[in-house]
Structure 1
Amino acid sequence: MFGQAGELEIMGNYSCRLVAYLTAKRGLTKMTTKPVIEAATKEESEYIRRRLIEYNAQHVPEHLRNRYEEINLTVKDEDGRVVGGMLAEFCWNWIEVHILWVDDAVRRSGYGSKLLQQIETIAREKECNFLKLNTFSFQAPEFYKKKGYREIAVLEDAPSGSRHYYFKKDIV
């Protein structure tokens, strides 16, 4: 895909700009044969991700361009075992919660609420405008509504027999 076999691994160590330069220099930006679509390697996936980030940066106000951070939180019991947590991303002017999980044994103990409070505090500190998240009908849509999140979209039959909810909460 990038030239001779083995070059992709070597190029993975270079900066994205160098990869783009080498790709353009070799004329690989033009399709000379029929395209081949196949599963991407880890290195190819990272290359694609970086190219999209470069493109997006051209269309985002300069003061927001470098605002990205993973925010992962855990809840541990007195023995240090993880009994809950949240995986989220801070990007530009919002935080997206990808996963909020609490173990069945401690569910309804307030840990989910505490995790949401913590991420909302972080969002305010980072001067975010809003938070967004999604959940399924068999998970916790009512929980998020009680916490002030408003439904912005619903996909029916996703997965079959269920609904996929998208929520937003304004911070400003």
Structure 2
Amino acid sequence: MYQLQADNSDALNSTLRSEMVEFNAQHFDAQRVPLGYKFVDDSNELVVGISGCVFGNWLIINWLWCSERVRNKGLAGQLLAELEQAAILLGAKKAQLDTLDFQAKPFYEKRGYSVKYQLDNYPLCGTRYFMEKPL
């Protein structure tokens, strides 16, 4: 007999993710190679960071964060370029990411990314953009 139980825990989420990654790995012939770069200040405090992975032919960009105090200084653009170059050396041919309407869409467009798909009314009245770029 099976019992239905509510479970909103991080533990369940983590377990389900692990199970799906394991299942999917049986059907993919590519491994995920993590990549990340950061800039720190004189106090070794993070001011800009980017992370992602190369998965087969794809660079998947997960996170790009830039502190307000160093915005518009070119640091985020340098990190993105560095990540892309490292991905190319690992065999990536394309890059993909998602961003929200109040985040960095113009930043990515200036660097060659284009919107491939968008979710309107996300989560209620915003827009989520899925972007891609050939490397």
Shorter chain as denominator, the TM-score bin is 0.7 to 0.9
For residues 56 and 39 of structure 2, what CA distance do their matches in structure 1 show? 26
The corresponding residue for 2:134 is: 170
User: Does the CA contact (< 8 Å) of 2:33 and 2:53 recur in 1?
Assistant: yes
Aligned pair partner of 1:48 in 10, 16, 24: 16
- Which amino acid in 1 is paired with 2:97? L
Question: Does residue 154 in structure 1 map to residue 105 in structure 2?
Answer: no
Which amino acid in structure 2 is aligned with residue 69 of structure 1?
V
Q: Is the 8 A contact 1:154 1:166 kept in 2?
A: yes
Q: Can you give the 5+ residue segments of structure 1 that lack an aligned partner in the other structure?
A: 1-31
Q: Which residue of 2 aligns with 1:38?
A: 7
Q: Is the 1:123–1:130 Cα contact (8 Å) retained in structure 2?
A: no
TM-superposition CA deviations, 1:6-53 (whole Å, max 9, x none): xxxxxxxxxxxxxxxxxxxxxxxxxx22433423463x5444333222
User: Could you say which residue in structure 2 is the equivalent of 1:139?
Assistant: 103
Q: Where does the alignment leave 5 or more consecutive residues of structure 2 unmatched? A: none
Equivalent positions of 1:85-96 (< 5 A) are 85-96=49-60
RMSD: 2.0
Within the candidate set 78, 83, 91, 2:47 is matched to: 83
Q: TM-score, normalised by structure 2?
A: 0.85
> Which residue in the other structure is 2:61 paired with?
97
Q: From 2, 18, 26, give the equivalent of 1:58.
A: 26
Bigger fraction of residues in helix: 1
The 1-side partners of 2:91 and 2:112 are apart by: 18
| Equivalent residue in structure 2 for 1:117, among 74, 78, 81 | 81
Deviation at 1:81, TM superposition (A): 2.2
